[in-house]
């Protein structure tokens, strides 16, 4: 992958795609961004994860949140209760990531994610 403008434009485009997923599914988008940075732009695994965390610092979902809130689709109380745990957990996870072999962890996570996805699709369409 050549450096410079082409690479920047490519990364920006990929980020737009991740953003669409983020707004559609109410997620951060990192779950898509990390593998795409590794696969398409040959980032190392740790570097892709660190870069994805940068992209998650600014409130990238702010515009989407406003759209959801306008329809009454936000549970503010549950959200407020979840935030401190996620923050503290993030520090623990970041420390853990340098000690653990991320290879295995990621495959376990991918497995769980696949099972969750299958469950969601099934309970939605074949109830």
Partner 1 sequence: MTLIILLLGLGVGVLVGLLGIGGGVVLVPALVYLLGMDQHLAQGTSLFILLPPIGLGALIEYWKQSRVDLRAGILCALGMLLGAFGGSLVALPMPSRHLQGLFGCFLMVSAILLWRKAQPGHGPTVAEGESAHG
| Binding to partner 1, residues 41-80 (CB under 8 A) | 41-65, 67-69, 71, 73-76, 78-79
Q: Is 5 in the site for partner 1 (CB under 8 A)?
A: no
Smallest gap from residue 59 Cβ to partner 1 (A): 5
Q: Is 96 in the site for partner 1 (CB under 8 A)?
A: yes
Q: Is 119 in the site for partner 1 (CB under 8 A)?
A: yes
SS (H, E, C) 70-95: HCCCCCHHHHHHHHHHHHHHHHHHHH
Q: Is 3 in the site for partner 1 (CB under 8 A)?
A: no
| Contact call for residues 22 and 56 (beta carbons, < 8 A) | no
Coil, helix or strand for 117? Answer: helix
């Amino acid at each position: 992958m050549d450096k410079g403008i082409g690479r920047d434009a490519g990364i920006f485009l990929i980020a737009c795609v991740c953003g669409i997923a983020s707004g559609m599914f109410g997620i951060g988008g990192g779950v898509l961004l990390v593998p795409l940075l590794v696969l398409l732009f040959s980032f190392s695994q740790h570097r892709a994860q660190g870069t994805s965390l940068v992209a998650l610092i600014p409130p990238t979902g702010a515009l989407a949140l406003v759209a959801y809130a306008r329809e009454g689709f936000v549970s503010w109380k549950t959200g407020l209760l979840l935030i401190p745990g996620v923050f503290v957990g993030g520090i623990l996870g970041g420390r853990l990531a340098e000690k653990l072999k991320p290879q295995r962890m990621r495959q376990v996570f991918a497995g769980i994610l696949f099972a969750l996805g299958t469950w969601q699709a099934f309970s939605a369409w074949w109830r």
